[in-house]
C-alpha cells in the first residue's frame, strides 16, 4: 500500500516537470473583460492563426496597466481612457488603438426610492440618489468601471462619502450581488448585468446616456526599456484585435446567448461619444 502511494507521488513529481513556453504573449486585461467570455473565443482564434500561446492575466485595471508599464506584459487591453492616456504620455505603453465599446447601465431596486427613472442623464440620476441618501454600491477597486463612476460623481458635484455609499472592493459580479441584496443602486457594464440578470432583483433604471460608454483600447508595451518583452507577439495580438475578421467576431458575440450583442466593434472609427 505504501509502495503504491510512493510510486504515485514519484510519478506525479516527474509528470509535473514543465518546460517554459517559448513563444508566449502575456496579455494583461481586466476581470470584467474576461468574465464577459469574449476572450475565451478570441484567444483560441489568435493562437490558431499565429501559433503564439497567449497567457491572459485578468486582474484589476490598475494592475493591468502597471504590469504593462513595468514590462511584465506584452500587450494591454483595458477600458479606462483617462488613465490609458497617462501611460501613453509616459511612453511605456504605445500604439493605442480603439477596439470596441459597450455601455454601462444604472441599476437599482424596482421600487426606485430616489426616482432615478425620471432622470434624463446619469449625472442627474446620481444627484437624486445622493440627495435621497439611497444606498449605492460602488466597486471600490480602481477598475475602469469605478473610474467612470467617480468621474460621474465629480460632474454631479457630489463627494461620494457617507453611510449610503458602500465600497465593495470586488469585481462586478460580487458588487451586483451585494447591490441586489441590499436593494441598492449601482453602476454596471451591460455584459455582466446580462450574465447576472436571472439572479438579482435589480432592474435597469437608466441607460444610453453618452457618458455611460465603456470604451476598450489595446496598447502595446514599449520594448525599449525591457528586453524581455515579446514586442512582435504583442503587436501581432493588437493587430489581430483590430482586424476586420476579428471585429466581425466581436460583433456577433453574445447574440445567441443574450439576444443582443455584448460589444460594438469600433476599430478604425472615430472615438465613440467624441472622447479620446
Q: Which residues bind other proteins (CB under 8 A)?
A: 1-2, 5, 8-10, 12-13, 15-18, 20-21, 26, 31, 35, 40, 43, 53, 55-58, 70-72, 170-171, 173-174, 176-177, 192, 195-196, 199, 226, 228-229
CB 118, min distance to other proteins, A: 30
| Residue nearer to other proteins on the CB measure, 17 or 111 | 17
CB 158, min distance to other proteins, A: 29
CB 179 within 8 A of CB 137: yes
| Residue nearer to other proteins on the CB measure, 7 or 245 | 7
CB 12, min distance to other proteins, A: 4
CB 61 within 8 A of CB 143: yes
CB 151 within 8 A of CB 273: no
CA–CA distance, 110 with 142 (Å, rounded to integer): 28
| Residue nearer to other proteins on the CB measure, 134 or 230 | 230
CB 135 within 8 A of CB 184: yes
| Residues comprising the chain, all counted | 276
CB 155, min distance to other proteins, A: 29
DSSP string, 185-207: EEEEEHHHHHHHGGG---EEEEE
CB 198, min distance to other proteins, A: 9
| Residue nearer to other proteins on the CB measure, 257 or 276 | 257
Phi, psi for residue 237 in degrees, rounded to 5: -70, -40
Amino acid at each position: 500500500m505504501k509502495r503504491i502511494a510512493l510510486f504515485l507521488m514519484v510519478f506525479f513529481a516527474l509528470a509535473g516537470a514543465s518546460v517554459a513556453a517559448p513563444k508566449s504573449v502575456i496579455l494583461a486585461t481586466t476581470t470584467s473583460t474576461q468574465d464577459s467570455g469574449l476572450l475565451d473565443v478570441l484567444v483560441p482564434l489568435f493562437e490558431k492563426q499565429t501559433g503564439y500561446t497567449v497567457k491572459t492575466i485578468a486582474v484589476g485595471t490598475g494592475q493591468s496597466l502597471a504590469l504593462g508599464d513595468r514590462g511584465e506584459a506584452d500587450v494591454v487591453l483595458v477600458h479606462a481612457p483617462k488613465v490609458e492616456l497617462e501611460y501613453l504620455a509616459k511612453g511605456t505603453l504605445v500604439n493605442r488603438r480603439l477596439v470596441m465599446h459597450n455601455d454601462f447601465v444604472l441599476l437599482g431596486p424596482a421600487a426606485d426610492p430616489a426616482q432615478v427613472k425620471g432622470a434624463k442623464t446619469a449625472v442627474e440620476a446620481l444627484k437624486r440618489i445622493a440627495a435621497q441618501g439611497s444606498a449605492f454600491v460602488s466597486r471600490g477597486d480602481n477598475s475602469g468601471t469605478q473610474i467612470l463612476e467617480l468621474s460621474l460623481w465629480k460632474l454631479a458635484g457630489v463627494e461620494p462619502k457617507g453611510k449610503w455609499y458602500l465600497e465593495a472592493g470586488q469585481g462586478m459580479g460580487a458588487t451586483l450581488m451585494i447591490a441586489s441584496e441590499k436593494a441598492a443602486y449601482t453602476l454596471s457594464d451591460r455584459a455582466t448585468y446580462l450574465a447576472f440578470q436571472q439572479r438579482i432583483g435589480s432592474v435597469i433604471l437608466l441607460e444610453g446616456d453618452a457618458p455611460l460608454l465603456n470604451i476598450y483600447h489595446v496598447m502595446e508595451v514599449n520594448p525599449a526599456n525591457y528586453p524581455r518583452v515579446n514586442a512582435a507577439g504583442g503587436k501581432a495580438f493588437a493587430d489581430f484585435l483590430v482586424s476586420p475578421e476579428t471585429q466581425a467576431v466581436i460583433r456577433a458575440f453574445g447574440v445567441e446567448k443574450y439576444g443582443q450583442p455584448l460589444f460594438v466593434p469600433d476599430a478604425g472609427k472615430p472615438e465613440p461619444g467624441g472622447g479620446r
